[in-house]
């Protein structure tokens, strides 16, 4: 087991290096830099050269990447070019917002999606099953930003029920971001749970349990539910990582100062260190949650660790 854990941890290192390297090269391939602003034409070229020299932006790209990753390895994510605080402070302030929104959306997706998926499978081809398939189609096909804009027009402008501007200390302003952020995961959770439950219902041991005369509730609870929920663990890991690292669209539309909005702002402002820091942070969250899922499976089924 220990060998398997070490092997999985080592395999994450190339993922982190390749992901950060691609991000680094792409952001330097875009024209402009931290010294370029909306009024860049009136900025003195000497000022630009001084800024580039101060932040070592005039060095070769390979040297810049090595220096940044070496500093990140020691906990230094560099200075933010667009804010007066370091990147680490910007991310530490934004992460609780993204984590709160993401965990709220995750809980809502599990509470709504899993029961609906099970109920739809138990009523296969009936009205509730057709409704669930309609919900899945809507949740997957309509972009999140379209639903968000429609919700703002309906609940904030037309009926004036909920505020559209996110405020950390106003609980009403959390409702629309959390609910809209959960719609896609609800659809995914519902679809996977329904498909998994239908697969379990077709197994021989379910027919055998029913043939023995066991009550339907006992069969569904003890045999169907336990086995149908196993594949959900595979989805929850990466889904949780994606939700708690922030939604670019939702945080930008509602003005929530989370990781997603920080990432978008760093792209628009050519804030290299902030962009690299947020990318590295998101990558670490995703790979750690995927690692947690893999280790959980290895404990459940030791054959995976021996494979």
Asked if residue 271 has pLDDT above 80, the reply is yes
Cβ count near 121 (within 10 Å): 23
218 pLDDT band, cuts 50/70/90, is low
Percentage of the chain surpassing pLDDT 70? 88
What pLDDT is recorded for position 223? Answer: 66
Identify the DSSP state of 267: H
Can you tell me the distance from the alpha carbon of 178 to that of 151, in angstroms, rounded to the nearest whole number? 12
Element (H, E) at 133: helix 127-141
Determine contact, residues 176/148, Cβ cutoff 8 Å. yes
- Average pLDDT value for residue range 187-191: 89
Asked if residue 93 has pLDDT above 50, the reply is yes
Q: Is 264 helix (H, G, I), strand (E, B) or coil?
A: helix
What pLDDT is recorded for position 217? Answer: 66
- Average pLDDT value for residue range 140-166: 90
151 pLDDT band, cuts 50/70/90, is very high
Can you tell me the distance from the alpha carbon of 15 to that of 206, in angstroms, rounded to the nearest whole number? 42
Domain boundaries, the chain: 95-269
Can you tell me the distance from the alpha carbon of 59 to that of 19, in angstroms, rounded to the nearest whole number? 21
- Average pLDDT value for residue range 231-237: 77
State the architecture of 95-269 in CATH terms. Orthogonal Bundle (1.10)
Would you tell me the crossing angle of helices 272-300 and 2-29 to the nearest 10 degrees?
Answer: 160
Determine contact, residues 255/165, Cβ cutoff 8 Å. yes
Which candidate, 89, 100, 83, places its Cα nearest to that of 256? 100
Determine contact, residues 114/193, Cβ cutoff 8 Å. yes
- Average pLDDT value for residue range 55-76: 86
Asked if residue 92 has pLDDT above 70, the reply is yes
What pLDDT is recorded for position 39? Answer: 46
What pLDDT is recorded for position 104? Answer: 92
Which candidate, 292, 247, 264, places its Cα nearest to that of 98? 247
- Sequential DSSP letters for 139-164: HHHS-HHHHHHHHIIIIIIIS--S-S
Give the best-scoring range by mean pLDDT among 52-56, 168-172, 285-289: 168-172
Q: What is the mean pLDDT of the chain?
A: 82
Higher pLDDT, 29 or 65: 65
What pLDDT is recorded for position 306? Answer: 62
- Average pLDDT value for residue range 256-282: 86
């Amino acid at each position: 087991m220990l060998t398997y854990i070490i092997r999985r941890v080592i395999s994450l290192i190339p993922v982190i290096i390749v992901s950060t390297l691609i991000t680094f090269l792409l952001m330097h391939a875009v024209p402009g830099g931290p010294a370029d602003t909306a009024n860049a034409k009136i900025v003195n070229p000497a000022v630009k050269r001084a800024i580039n020299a101060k932040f070592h932006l005039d060095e070769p790209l390979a040297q810049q990447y090595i220096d940044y990753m070496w500093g990140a390895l020691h906990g230094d994510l560099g200075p933010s070019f667009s804010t007066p605080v370091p990147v680490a402070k910007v991310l530490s302030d934004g992460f609780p917002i993204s984590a709160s929104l993401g965990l709220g959306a995750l809980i809502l997706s599990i509470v709504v999606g899993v029961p609906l998926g099970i109920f739809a499978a138990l009523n296969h081809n009936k009205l509730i099953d057709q409704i669930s398939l309609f919900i899945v189609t809507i949740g997957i096909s309509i972009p999140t930003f379209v639903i968000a804009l429609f919700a703002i027009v309906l609940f904030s402008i037309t009926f004036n029920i909920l505020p559209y501007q996110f405020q950390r200390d106003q609980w009403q302003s959390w409702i629309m971001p959390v609910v809209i952020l959960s719609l896609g995961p609800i659809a995914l959770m519902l679809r996977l749970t329904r498909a998994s439950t239908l697969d379990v219902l077709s197994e021989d041991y379910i027919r055998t349990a029913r043939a023995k005369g066991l009550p339907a509730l006992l069969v569904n609870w003890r045999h169907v539910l336990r086995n149908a929920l196993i594949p959900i663990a595979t989805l929850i890991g990466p889904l949780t990582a994606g939700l708690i690292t922030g939604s670019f669209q939702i945080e930008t539309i509602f003005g929530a100062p989370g990781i997603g909005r920080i990432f978008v702002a760093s792209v628009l402002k050519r804030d290299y260190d902030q962009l690299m820091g947020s990318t590295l942070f998101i990558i670490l969250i995703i790979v750690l949650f995927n690692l947690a899922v893999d280790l959980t499976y290895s404990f459940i089924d030791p054959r995976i660790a021996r494979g």
